[in-house]
Homo-oligomer: A and B are copies of this chain.
Amino acid sequence: MEKVRLGIIGVGNMGSSHLRNYLDGKLPEIEVTAVADPKPDRLAWAKEQLPSLTTFEDDTALMTSGLVDAVLIATPHYFHPPLVIEALNHGLHVMSEKPAGVYTKQVREMNEVADKSDKIFAIMFNQRTNCLYRKAYELVHSGEFGALKRVTWIITDWYRTQAYYNSGGWRATWSGEGGGVLLNQCPHQLDLWQWICGMPSKITAVCHEGKWHRIEVEDDVMIYAEYPNGATGTFITTTGDFPGTNRLEITLDRAKLICEGGELIVTELERGTQDNTDHSEQGFDRIPNKTYKAELDGRNEQHVEVLNKFAGAILHGTPLTAKGQEGINGLMISNAAFLSSWLGKTVELPVDEDLYYEKLQEKIQNSTFRKEVKEQVNQDMSSTY
């Protein structure tokens, strides 16, 4: 085949944005042939954009239509795993939007199906295409600067108003999204965090529900992570602060990296900190070092690159931006954060997935919150990717 025939499942905010990228000619090896959405007005909108599209109200009908080789799943979060499983079982390649799902039990089942499938399974971790984070990944993984000691990410530049939360009935509910800032805004950072720094073994977190908004889920969170090698990490996020901060600091044995304002500042040490700590005869010693701005290649193609690499993996066997199975890692951190906060204690990873599922169901069943909804599709999502 020359092009991948793609069906988009869900043409709300994200699905529409992907369709627009296609219409703008940015996906040369993809042909969008079909879309599915339960809302007739969304299908009408899509058809208006691209009259050649076949539209479906039913996802299964799209998958079995013979019109697609692959699907892009851009539905609310809970539907990602069952739709991925269904698509793989229909012999289709799948790209899932983030997050991988809402709870790891469901995502692990999805991964088990994907592991047995010979189809390509990818996830939309478009922030991994950002030259800033690619460079940080490269520096940490080069091994040149030794082991991770500490990571601190203040990621509070997610300001959202009450109107945002009122714009969709599923938004910021336990039954609709299964969480707030950790499930909607932070999946990229949670993924980058684990991608660059590896998976922690313990999580201690405090998640505040409805602190700044009339919502039932968390909008203010502190996560403290402990790694198998003794390193530690802190992740601070909210949708309540303006203008907020996005500052990622990583301390390695022989370097410190700071990602902020689109720059990566590196302080490189002449010798390892721990070796110096152990052997120096000076109590207040300093280690010779140099600080410089890392050279970045400037590429930051986001969704377009992820989709083009998805097509490349299908057509030419070239590497993906992120394998679908990797989506469980960032989700595991957020599930652990909720569980730690709800139980009021440190939890170990892998998270107890049955206990988490049970606690989430309690949240859903005990929910008495009634949203004021004022639907808005096609808001400007440019700051939410």
Chain-B contact segment, one of A17-25, A36-44, A280-288? A280-288
A54 within 8 A of B: no
Which chain B positions have C-beta within 8 A of A346? 206, 344
A216 within 8 A of B: no
CB–CB A161/B282 < 8 A: yes
Residue of A211, A241, A376 with highest tally of chain B CB at under 10 A: A241
CB–CB B277/A161 < 8 A: yes
Within 8 A of B (CB), among A197-247: 204, 206, 208, 211-213, 220, 222, 224, 226, 230, 232, 234, 236, 238, 240-243, 245
A147 within 8 A of B: no
The residue on B at minimum CB distance from A277 is B161
CB–CB A269/B242 < 8 A: yes
- Taking the closest CB of chain B, its distance from the CB of A238, in whole angstroms, is 7
State the CA gap A277–B213 with chains docked (Å).
Answer: 8
A78 within 8 A of B: no
State the CA gap A269–B226 with chains docked (Å).
Answer: 36
CB–CB A240/B277 < 8 A: yes
Knowing A150-B238, A234-B234 touch, does A243 contact B267 (C-beta < 8 A)? yes
Which chain B positions have C-beta within 8 A of A163? 280-283, 285
CB–CB A284/B164 < 8 A: yes
Chain A: interface size category: 35 or more
Within 8 A of B (CB), among A237-292: 238, 240-243, 245, 249, 251, 256, 267, 269, 273-274, 276-287, 289
Which chain B positions have C-beta within 8 A of A368? none
CB–CB A222/B234 < 8 A: yes
Fill in one digit per residue for A153-185: 1 if any B CB lies within 8 Å of its CB, else 0. 010100111111101000000000000000000
Which chain B positions have C-beta within 8 A of A280? 161-163
Within 8 A of B (CB), among A311-358: 344-346
- Taking the closest CB of chain B, its distance from the CB of A341, in whole angstroms, is 10
The 5 residue pairs across chains A and B that have the minimum distance between CB atoms: A164-B283, A161-B280, A242-B273, A163-B283, A161-B277
